[in-house]
Amino acid sequence: MSRKPRKLYHQSRRSRRKAIAANGLDPAYGLRRRRGCGTRAVYLTSERDDCFPFTDVWEVDTRGIEVEQHFGEETWWLSQAVIPPSRIRLVQSEI
């Protein structure tokens, strides 16, 4: 298991920008289904390059926030708690 990075990244659609800025990242917003995974969580990556172009990318300050590695994957992490707006900032805007 890797040591938790101080900064992680989350990508989202532009249409979610106002809600994320106001409410933070909320695992209850959507249930991600990936290879049968039904975990309610905010999915994060330690590699900004893992984020797709033409999406909003949010930087997450992980200090004081519980995150865990996603099934032992090196760069993918998840949080099952709401990440408040005070811990995030928009670092890439969808064009």
In the chain, domain spans: 7-92
What pLDDT score was predicted for residue 62?
95
State how far the Cα of 12 lies from the Cα of 72, in Å rounded to an integer.
23
pLDDT in tens, 64-77: 999 998 777 788 99
CATH class of 7-92: alpha beta
Give whole-number Cα distances, 36 to 31, 42, 71, 90, in Å. 11, 16, 12, 30
pLDDT band at 34 (very low <50, low <70, confident <90, very high): very low
Amino acid at 1: M
* 9 pLDDT higher than 80: yes
